[in-house]
Amino acid sequence: MRNEPITFKIKTLTPLWTGGADEKMDRIHETGIIGSIRWWYEVVARGLGYHVCDPTSDNRCGLSGKEKNNEERISKLCPACYLFGTTGWKRMFNLQITSEGKQPVEGNKIFCQVTNSKINKNWLRKVFEQNLDDKNFFGSLELKILSRNSEKQVEDQLKAVLSIMSEFGSIGAKPQFGYGLFELIDKKETKESLRKIHKFLEKNNFKKSNSDEGIFSLKNYWKFETDEIEANDIKNTFLKNPKYIGSNHNDLYISMSFDIRYMLRKRYLQKSKSKEATSEIFGGTKGDKWASRVFVSSFYKENQHDDKYKLRIWGFTERYIADIIREIFIENGEYNKIFSNIEIVTLNKTLREVTEIDS
């Protein structure tokens, strides 16, 4: 029997980066979207205590083709490789992205970043040299999923992980520059999503390993989100001396996560007095090469008709570092009003409840 495709609807809150790796930035590339979903699925699986391989390493899972049956195949695959594919094993689903029925989905908003500092402006111009005339996508998208498996398992896993990404992270490439915050329409509640994934991991006999689980796990996750900030307050605190790269800013979002991360890095260095510790948290200073563990969204509107913005900051670190980062905002007089009552959200309690109740 042929499977029916299932469609997830998403609405962007900050623009989507439309390029694939080294590809021209003209449309949304499925590979970039799938890559980010896989990354988050790995984060969730680790958080639930399961092994996933590093798909870029030589030790990643793979099949030789000599396996006798599916049972043997599954025992050689971690859950991420099972769903998203690896050497000798095809991805469990096909993804087609459309916007209002149209495909391919092309960028519709000219590239835009904004900063207050001349140094940052030069730096951003360098990073995005190739992209200054390109377009990002902002709007509504449909992700049409056609699974290779008829039991709705794959769809359930994707819905669960997309729900978590919508609530806690982002989709697509370049989250460190504020891209990809989104709302999944009809998203599932977090605990239910985690439970769906936990059950799936428990039920299948995926490859096990004792290797180090790494820092990018929901166990190390935290976030804080501001209340809505009036556009005028943003102008008076964050956007004092705006310099635009690419187009002049439109008011759907304000892409200035670079400035905020730069400020955080500088203050964190002053506090920790350790370049090493600072690089560990905020990444290498030379662009993207060394992944940052702290992410800052662009300012986004929850309701596009209002002139109010929110900001989401999240990371994968030990908890006390989240406290230090919040402190940095609070200690800075200008931001104090916005950040003083902000609550840090972590998922450890929910993860414990899910793994204890269901096992």
Binding site for Zn ion (CB under 5 A): 53, 61, 78, 81
State which H helix or E strand residue 346 sits in: strand 345-346
CB of 44 to Zn ion, least distance (A): 14
Closest to Zn ion by CB, 78 or 160: 78
Closest to Zn ion by CB, 16 or 197: 197
Closest to Zn ion by CB, 53 or 239: 53
User: Two tokens at 310?
Assistant: 């929110």
Cα separation, 243 vs 297, whole angstroms: 18
Closest to Zn ion by CB, 61 or 141: 61
Nearest C-alpha neighbor of 167 from the set 186, 183, 143, 179: 183
Closest to Zn ion by CB, 77 or 264: 77
User: Two tokens at 346?
Assistant: 């972590």
CB of 198 to Zn ion, least distance (A): 18
CB of 157 to Zn ion, least distance (A): 15
- What sign for the dihedral angle of Cα 3, 191, 311, 217? negative
State which H helix or E strand residue 323 sits in: helix 319-331
CB of 62 to Zn ion, least distance (A): 8
Closest to Zn ion by CB, 158 or 322: 158
CB of 34 to Zn ion, least distance (A): 15
CB of 67 to Zn ion, least distance (A): 15
The string of DSSP codes covering 141-204 is: EEEEEEESSTTSHHHHHHHHHHHHHHHHS--SS-GGGT---EEETTPPPHHHHHHHHHHHHHHS
